[in-house]
Amino acid sequence: MVGLLVVILLGIVAAIWPEMVLLGFALGPLGMAWFAAWGLLPVIAFYVAIILAGALVSWPLGRLRWGIGVLAALAVAFGVPWSANQQTDRAVAAWTAGDVRPGEPVAVDGPVLVRLAPVFTQGRKHPCGPLCQRLLYSGAAPRVLMLPPDREDETAPGFFIERREACPPVPGALPAVAARIAAGDCLVEAPTPVDRATLVYERTRVFDHDDDWRSWPWAQAIRLKRIEIRRGLEPEAERLYRRTAVIAKRLSTPFMIHFGGTSLPEGLAVIRRETANDTFDEEDGFQRPDEQVFGDAVRLSAPEPMDLRATIRAGLPRPGPDKTHAHVLMNEFLDSLWPADAPATDDDLALIELAVNDDRMDNFMGLSEVIHMRDQVPPSLVRAMADRLVRTPGVDYVTPQIADAFVALPPGEAEGARDRLETIARDPMAYPKAGRALSRLADSGPTVLPLLLDVLAVAREVRDRPVERVTVARSLELKVAAEAERGAILAFCRLGPVARPAVEDVLWAMLEARLAEPVVHHNIDAAIDALLSMGIDPAALEARFGASDRWRTVSGRIWSFEKDRRVGRPFCGRVLPPPETAGPGDP
């Protein structure tokens, strides 16, 4: 719309004062030289051509210039883009003229040479990428050679499958391929003569006058991507498949020119619009062309659970930290192997026991999921799982799962892991998981009260340690101590009246110390919640802190407690009975 207004305005100026337009055009090169630095030269030239056409036609025509001048300007405005786009269309047709799209998938009958243009990828990738893996592990090709399009070597890295007891790692392997590799179908690389290939699969990118918006408006701007399969190494060999996706930047009319770029030249110089004859998007084309070209011959199914069970039982040695080996498959898929709607079988239990006893187990996510199903698992296996989670060093990043393991331990046995939990309470990497983990210990009942009191002592020791200056490490340490303290207090709150004899005095002392500090600590609310949950009368809180300047904080928390109890909202993980139905042991 802005472009239309500009054309109309300049057309009127050209019709009324053509002399000024010609004078401006005579001085134009000077102005254009300055605008060229901004990339506006094509746009200025385009509009000058439109105005000049209208001015030259309308000047000698007197009154007729109102119609003929504008018509001449519009003819140039639309004629130049139309003429340029005709040339672009002919170039696109020439690029796609040789495409071959057979109705049936291409059959693979021997080694395949894959020539892919290098692309940027995040992380380390194996040279045998998804297409190479699909060709091999689907059984379509006995060997795949990989060679960039710009290389004409006589030999190339060749990949094939070989049965071995231990396989080298394959970073980024497809899931189904990873399961096959873990089971012993190794991906092996060896130099191979290029002339052994019976098919050549080539994927390229071509640029033809790929000019951006700084270019002259009538220049072609085309880029394309192409997939081609030949039966031979020579370019003139029989072409079995070719698909070309062309993206052309066609010249727009002035009506489509608009403002809104991130800078002045971008806003004024948008005179191109992209069109494409083929998308080659991820669902249907360039990103995964293997299934489009070869059909079901390279389609891989997801690994079945029983295949993973067999892989895990194989107990393959661990040559390196890679996801193709049994111990990692066990880590990642153990929870998915658990029957969702059926009781655990002897086969399931044997698999879990194998995982627990495998010293290569280092993830524990799947193992912690099984702990939630402990009602279907023998107590001896539950103890083994929990003990493995609690006592294995270096897995503090699964702190909530460690808390589950504490809960899974029979009463009294968590005492032996006290030093483990104290380590978590001191570890900056455990923030902010430590509080959540500790609060969940309330599920195991009052037997964990000594352990939680020890955690409070550790947090207090960390907080009160004198330091010369506060560093980043010290700040993290204080955060972990506060979070561990909060988790223990929330556990007291969830335990309710049963925790009162052991922790009431501790909570009163903590609350008095926190309210005396100049900064309101976020654990004040947790301590008030725990006291109220244990059955402390709100009047006792008012008697102690009613005259304090922090009474507003305490009274606000008491109000929240009363409101939650009236509406039946969970408080510290438990729903408290309303006052009129509360029993003798309830607050």
Mean pLDDT of 34-45: 48
What is the structure's pLDDT at 144? 92
Mean pLDDT of 116-133: 69
| Cβ atoms of residues 276 and 246 within 8 Å | yes
- Percent of the chain at pLDDT exceeding 90: 2
- Domain endpoint, select from 392, 420, 440: 392
Q: Do both 125 and 171 map to the same domain?
A: yes
Q: Do both 78 and 130 map to the same domain?
A: no
Please tell me the chain's helix, strand, coil percentages from 3-state DSSP, rounded to the nearest 5. 55, 10, 35
What is the structure's pLDDT at 40? 47
Q: Do both 349 and 377 map to the same domain?
A: yes
Closest alpha carbon to 202 in 160, 232, 236, 230: 230
Q: Do both 80 and 117 map to the same domain?
A: no
What is the structure's pLDDT at 557? 79
Asked if the structure places residue 296 within a domain, the reply is no
Q: Tens digit of pLDDT for each residue in 543-555?
A: 888 777 778 778 8
Q: Do both 89 and 30 map to the same domain?
A: yes
Asked if the structure places residue 152 within a domain, the reply is yes
Q: At 545, phi and psi to the nearest 5?
A: -120, 10
Asked if the structure places residue 225 within a domain, the reply is no
Q: How does residue 452 score in pLDDT terms, banded at 50, 70 and 90?
A: confident
- Domain endpoint, select from 180, 197, 214: 197
Q: Do both 59 and 90 map to the same domain?
A: yes
Q: Do both 138 and 193 map to the same domain?
A: yes
- Domain endpoint, select from 392, 418, 434: 392
Q: Do both 71 and 36 map to the same domain?
A: yes
What's the domain count of the chain? 3
Asked if the structure places residue 168 within a domain, the reply is yes
| Cβ atoms of residues 478 and 519 within 8 Å | no
Mean pLDDT of 346-353: 68
What is the structure's pLDDT at 148? 84
Q: Do both 14 and 75 map to the same domain?
A: yes
Asked if the structure places residue 222 within a domain, the reply is no
Asked if the structure places residue 560 within a domain, the reply is no
Q: Do both 119 and 92 map to the same domain?
A: no
Mean pLDDT of 307-327: 47
Asked if the structure places residue 578 within a domain, the reply is no
Q: Do both 8 and 75 map to the same domain?
A: yes
Q: Do both 73 and 118 map to the same domain?
A: no
Q: Which two tokens stand for residue 212?
A: 């951006």
Mean pLDDT of 353-357: 70
Q: Is the pTM of this model over 0.85?
A: no
Asked if the structure places residue 526 within a domain, the reply is no
What is the structure's pLDDT at 270? 43
Q: Tens digit of pLDDT for each residue in 243-287?
A: 888 877 776 655 544 433 333 333 333 455 556 666 554 444 344
| Cβ atoms of residues 251 and 218 within 8 Å | yes
Domain with 162, as residue range(s), is 112-197
Closest alpha carbon to 389 in 374, 376, 414, 406: 406
